[in-house]
Amino acid sequence: MELRQLRYFVAIVDHGSLSRAAAMLHVAQPALTQQLRQLEEELGAQLLHRSAQGVLSTDAGKVFYEHALAILKQVSDARSAVTQSATRPSGSVTVGLPHSISGALALPLLTATRAQFPEITLQLTEELTGNLAEQLKSGRVNLAVLFDDGQLSPFVCTPLAEEELRYICRTDMAPADDGIALSQALSTQLILPGMQHGVRPRIEAVARSAGLATANIIEINSIAILKSAILAGMGATILPVAPVLAEVERGAMRALPIHSPSISRTVVLCGSKNIPLTNAAAAVSRLICQVAAELCQSGYWIGARLLPLSE
């Protein structure tokens, strides 16, 4: 198996056509087809379905595509690590952010990276926490912001913040008080993400430890759809403030602190223990810690408390 075969296969999948991939790669289509056939023979599996409309990945092809992307990224990172300067880091760095964190971190991180490291190309990917952990293990992303659920031993972790979860509802449906007990919050119609989101297991764990339970939950995994459901009066949610900051600031939603007990989660920056960081990725790692600290101290990251690096 050769790296060029991986590049060819990824190009075919990305372009959905052998002819378009051949044109992009500047390779004759028969040669491209031959390389694909050799790859399938070596793997003992059909990777693509071919038709007059183009190509589609088989189940085996979808699995192989993820591995091919990870391998090609690690090769690119290795090349960058050899050539880039420690004083002027450059190259591409991919950072994974959970949906519920990107609203707080994404734009400030992009702005800071452009200002401090103009030669670094920062790629942000927004994913479910479970997907991010797998992508970090495989090398698809260089760094990922995750939540400390006691299962982060495969990673090198740096604590960033303790983030409070709040009861969020449409303004005209909010209780009169400035806060709400967890038992009262759980008795309302809640709209929550599924268990694959980092926030949901934390809510369930705190509720169980308090002798409470969730019931009659409407599950919506899209933050955008979840917000629309709240604004339509379908129910409330328990989330950090960051994903709904715009709605809170314009007065469409209220975010009430939860007490008896409160709910929070530990936000950590994770890197692989097995794949070394390039100089560029190490620079971005330090920058993420700096940006997170500034956001906590300024109050822009609502409900987040800065954690010491040694914790």
pLDDT digits (tens, 9 = 90+) for 108-140: 999 999 999 999 999 999 988 888 998 998 888
Q: Which two tokens stand for residue 218?
A: 């409407």
CA atoms of 292 and 2, how far apart (whole Å):
41
pLDDT score, position 87? 64
Q: What is the mean predicted confidence (pLDDT) over 150-178?
A: 93
Q: What is the mean predicted confidence (pLDDT) over 34-38?
A: 85
The full 3-state SS of the chain, as one line of letters, equals CCHHHHHHHHHHHHHCCHHHHHHHHCCCHHHHHHHHHHHHHHHCCCCEEEECCEEEECHHHHHHHHHHHHHHHHHHHHHHHHHCCCCCCCEEEEEEEEHHHHHHHHHHHHHHHHHHCCCEEEEEEEECHHHHHHHHHHCCCCEEEEECCCCCCCEEEEEEEEEECEEEEEHHHCCCCCCEEHHHHHHCCEEECCCCCCHHHHHHHHHHHCCCCCCCCEECCCHHHHHHHHHCCCCEEEECCHHHHHHHHCCCEEEEEEECCCCEEEEEEEEECCCCCCHHHHHHHHHHHHHHHHHHHHCCCCCEEECCCCC
The residue with tokens 């030669």 is 119
pLDDT score, position 275? 86
CA atoms of 125 and 69, how far apart (whole Å):
14
Is it the case that residue 78 has pLDDT exceeding 80?
no
Q: What is the mean predicted confidence (pLDDT) over 55-70?
A: 85
What domains can you pick out in the chain, each with its CATH number? Answer: 3-71 (1.10.10.10), 86-159+268-302 (3.40.190.10), 166-262 (3.40.190.290)
Q: What is the mean predicted confidence (pLDDT) over 20-25?
A: 84
pLDDT score, position 311? 43
For the chain, give the percent of residues with pLDDT over 70.
96
